[in-house]
């Protein structure tokens, strides 16, 4: 059995040993500190590399906490004993300086990407708008070509005007794009100039349609009326027909000259009328000539009518005079008849009165006896 004294001595020995070991742990060696510093620089290097990669990816927000952690790690005094300490701190400073530049670069790239996206959208919108305008303008071109070398009629002019209106509406739909795209604005101006030319062509075609369907057609119908007038026996009806024919030719000539004044090139360029080329200048001359000829015919008929009307008036006056004479004679006969009847009535009344007096005298004489 171990004695109490021996046990106490053992505990004292153990206690001294523990104190010795504890004293040795509190004072680290330079080698231990250097190893710890190198471990810290390795940790900082990893953080710095990660931060650098984040910055390469333009992720400044992701790099900032890693740089803060690396700064904290490099702040330990043992790091100064590591050969990598200065390089790590230099890398840290460089990366910290890059943070605002990376932020600016990211903002710039985002802005550039946004602008590029907006440009792509604008280019797509402009391209679609340009295609729509080209398609609409193609219809205008086809409508203009449909007027060339053919009879100009209201349906073709209407088709052209409708095509022009559709193109104008398409241009109006893309008005906002003109402020954003100079190239499209320039093409829109070119289209507008082409539309102005098409509108001028439509106005000319409409004037030709109005002329052909109005005065010219009326003058052509006048030929049939003129034939009818030649065979008409009744003077007034013949005069009315010739007057109508003259007015048709006269209006045809006046409208043709007006059209030539508005569109001088029509003096050389023929128009298509029922599939035949017709010069407006020739129509004007022909209508004016026919109007002049018929004016003389109308004047002769008017003179004949005046002469006839005077003759009829004279007959009417003579008839009226005869009727008046007959009426006066009849009135005289009636007056004489009435006077005779009145005289006869008075004589009859006097005779009756005389008889009554004689009768009354007889009655009185008879009564006296």
* pLDDT tens string 255-281: 888 888 888 887 887 877 777 888 888
Which range is least confidently modeled, 123-127, 194-198, 209-213, 224-228?
A: 209-213
**Residues 336-349, buried b or exposed e (16+ Cβ, 10 A)?**
eeeeeeeeeeeeee
Residue scoring higher pLDDT (324 or 268): 324
Name 277's bridge partners: 272
Pick the closest to residue 181 from 254, 250, 125 (CA basis).
Answer: 125
H helix intervals, the chain: 4-26, 30-56, 60-74, 85-147, 154-173, 175-178, 182-211, 217-231, 235-262, 280-368
pTM of the model: 0.57
Pick the closest to residue 88 from 137, 39, 126 (CA basis).
Answer: 39
pLDDT digits (tens, 9 = 90+) for 172-182: 999 999 998 99
Q: Give the pLDDT confidence score for residue 17 in this predicted structure.
A: 38
Query: If DSSP codes are grouped into helix, strand and coil, which group holds residue 343?
Result: helix
Q: Counting beta carbons within 10 angstroms of the beta carbon of residue 114, is it exposed (0 to 12), middle (13 to 18) or buried (19 or more)? A: exposed
DSSP character string of 103-116: HHHHHHHHHHHHHH
369: pLDDT confidence band, cut at 50, 70 and 90? low
End-to-end CA distance of the chain: 237
Residues 295-320 have a mean pLDDT of 90
258: which residues sit within 8 A by CB, 6+ positions away? Answer: none
Per-residue pLDDT for 52 more than 70? yes
Per-residue pLDDT for 197 more than 90? yes
pLDDT digits (tens, 9 = 90+) for 83-141: 888 999 999 999 999 999 999 999 999 999 998 998 899 999 999 999 999 999 999 99
pLDDT digits (tens, 9 = 90+) for 6-30: 334 443 344 333 333 333 444 578 8
Residues 328-334 have a mean pLDDT of 89
């Amino acid at each position: 059995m171990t004695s109490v004294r021996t046990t106490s001595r053992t505990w004292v020995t153990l206690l001294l040993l523990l104190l010795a070991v504890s004293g040795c742990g509190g004072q680290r060696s330079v080698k231990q500190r250097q190893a710890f510093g190198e471990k810290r620089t390795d940790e900082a290097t990893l953080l710095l590399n990660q931060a650098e990669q984040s910055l390469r990816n333009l992720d400044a927000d992701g790099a900032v906490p890693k740089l803060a952690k690396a700064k904290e790690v490099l702040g330990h005094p043992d790091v100064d004993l590591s050969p990598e300490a200065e390089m790590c701190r230099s890398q840290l400073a460089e990366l910290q300086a890059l943070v605002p530049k990376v932020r600016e670069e990211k903002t710039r790239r985002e802005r550039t990407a946004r602008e590029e996206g907006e440009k792509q959208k604008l280019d797509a919108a402009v391209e679609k708008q340009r295609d729509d305008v080209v398609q609409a303008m193609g219809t205008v071109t086809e409508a203009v070509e449909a007027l060339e070398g053919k009879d100009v009629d209201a349906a073709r002019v209407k088709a052209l005007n409708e095509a022009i209106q559709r193109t104008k509406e398409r241009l109006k739909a893309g008005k906002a794009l003109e402020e954003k795209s100079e190239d499209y604005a320039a093409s829109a101006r070119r289209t507008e100039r082409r539309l102005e030319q098409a509108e001028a062509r439509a106005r000319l075609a409409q004037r030709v349609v109005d002329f052909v369907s109005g005065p010219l057609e009326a003058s052509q119908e006048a030929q049939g009326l003129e034939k009818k007038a030649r065979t008409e026996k009744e003077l007034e009806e013949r005069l009315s027909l010739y007057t109508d024919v003259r007015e048709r030719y006269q209006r045809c000539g006046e409208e043709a000259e007006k059209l030539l004044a508005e569109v001088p090139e029509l003096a050389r360029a023929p128009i298509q009328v029922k599939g035949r080329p017709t010069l407006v200048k020739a129509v004007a001359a022909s209508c004016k000539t026919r109007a002049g000829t018929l004016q003389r015919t109308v004047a002769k008929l008017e003179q004949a009518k005046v002469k006839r009307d005077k003759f009829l008036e004279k007959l009417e006056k003579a008839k009226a005079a005869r009727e008046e004479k007959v009426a006066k004679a009849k009135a005289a006969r009636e007056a004489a008849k009435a006077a005779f009847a009145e005289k006869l009535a008075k004589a009859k009344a006097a005779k009756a009165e005389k008889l009554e007096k004689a009768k009354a005298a007889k009655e009185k004489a008879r009564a006296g006896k």
